[in-house]
A and B are shown apart, each in its own frame.
Chain A
Amino acid sequence: MAQRSEAIPAVRGRSELSLNRLFVAPAILFAAFVAVPLLALAARAAQEGDIFERLTSPFVLHALRLSMLTSTLSLLLALLLGVPTAYLLARNRFPGYRFVTLLVELPMVLPPTVAGVALLVAFGRRGIFGGWLSDISLELPFTTAAVVLAQLFVSAPFLVRSLQAGFESVDVTYERVSATLGASSLRTFWSVTLPLARPTLISGAVLCWTRALSELGATLIFAGNFEMRTQTMPLAIITAFESSAGLSGAIVLSVILLAVASVLLVLMRVALKRGALPEAV
Chain B
Amino acid sequence: MITVDIRRRLGAFALDVVFEADQETVVLFGHSGSGKSVTLASMAGLIRPDAGSIAIAGRTVFDAARGIDLPPQQRNVGYLVQQIALFPHLTAAENIGYSLTGWDREARARRVSELSVLLSIDGFEDRMPHQLSGGQQQRVALARALARPVDALLLDEPFSALDEALRGDLRAELLRLRSELAIPVVFVTHDLREAYLLADRIAVLDEGRVLQFASREDVFRRPSSRRVAELTGVRNLFEGETDASGRVVVAGVRFCVDAEVAPHASVDLSIRSERCVLRRLHHADPLPANCFVADIVSDLAFGNSHMLTFAPLGPGPAVEVEVASRPYEVLGVAAQQRWVIELPPADLHIMTR
Q: Which A residues lie at the B interface, using CB under 8 A?
A: 1, 171, 173-174, 176-185, 187, 192, 195-196, 198, 277-281
Contact = CB atoms under 8 A, between A and B. Distances in A.
A184 B144 CA distance: 17
Contacts of B132: 281
Interface stretch (B83-91, B258-266, B275-283, B337-345): B83-91
Contacts of A195: 89
B52 interface: no
Given A176-B46, A196-B89, A281-B88, A181 B81 contact: no
B76 interface: yes
A182 B73 CA distance: 4
A97 B32 CA distance: 33
A61 to B, nearest CB: 41
Contacts of A183: 73, 98-99, 101
B137 interface: yes
Interface residues of B, number: 32
Given A180-B79, A182-B76, A183-B73, A279 B101 contact: no
B72 interface: yes
A174 B128 contact: no
Nearest to A192: B87
Contacts of B210: none
B44 interface: yes
A173 B81 contact: yes
Contacts of B147: 181
Contacts of B186: none
Given A180-B79, A182-B74, 9 more contacts: A171-B85, A173-B85, A177-B85, A179-B71, A179-B73, A180-B78, A181-B144, A183-B99, A281-B84
A250 B129 CA distance: 52
A174 B130 contact: no
B88 A182 contact: no
Nearest to B133: A1
Contacts of B99: 181-183
Interface of B: 44-46, 71-79, 81, 83-89, 98-99, 101, 128-130, 132, 137, 144-145, 147-148
B109 to A, nearest CB: 18
Nearest to A195: B89
A178 B88 CA distance: 13
Contacts, number: 73
Contact of A279 (B89, B130, B145): B130
Contacts of A177: 79, 81, 85, 87
Contacts of B130: 1, 278-279, 281
9 contacts: A176-B46, A180-B73, A181-B98, A181-B147, A181-B148, A182-B148, A183-B99, A195-B89, A281-B129
Contacts of A279: 88, 130
Contacts of B84: 281
A42 B314 CA distance: 102
A186 to B, nearest CB: 11
Nearest to A176: B46
A198 B87 CA distance: 14
B113 to A, nearest CB: 19
Contacts of A192: 87
B88 A196 contact: yes
A192 B44 CA distance: 19
Contacts of A185: 73
Nearest to B86: A281
A244 B127 CA distance: 63
Contacts of A178: 87, 98
Contact of A277 (B77, B85, B88): B88
Most chain A CB within a 10 A radius of its CB, from B73, B84, B132: B73
Given A278-B130, A279-B130, A281-B137, A180 B45 contact: yes
B46 A187 contact: no
B87 A180 contact: no
Contacts of A180: 44-46, 72-73, 75, 77-79, 145
Contacts of A278: 88, 128-130
A74 B196 CA distance: 62
Nearest to B154: A180
Give the interface centre of A173, A180, A187 by most chain B CB atoms within 10 Å.
Answer: A180
Contacts of A173: 81, 83, 85
Nearest to A171: B85
A202 B89 CA distance: 16
Nearest to B72: A179
Contacts of B148: 181-182
A177 B137 CA distance: 15
A171 B46 CA distance: 15
Nearest to B41: A176
Nearest to B71: A179
A273 to B, nearest CB: 15
Contacts of B137: 281
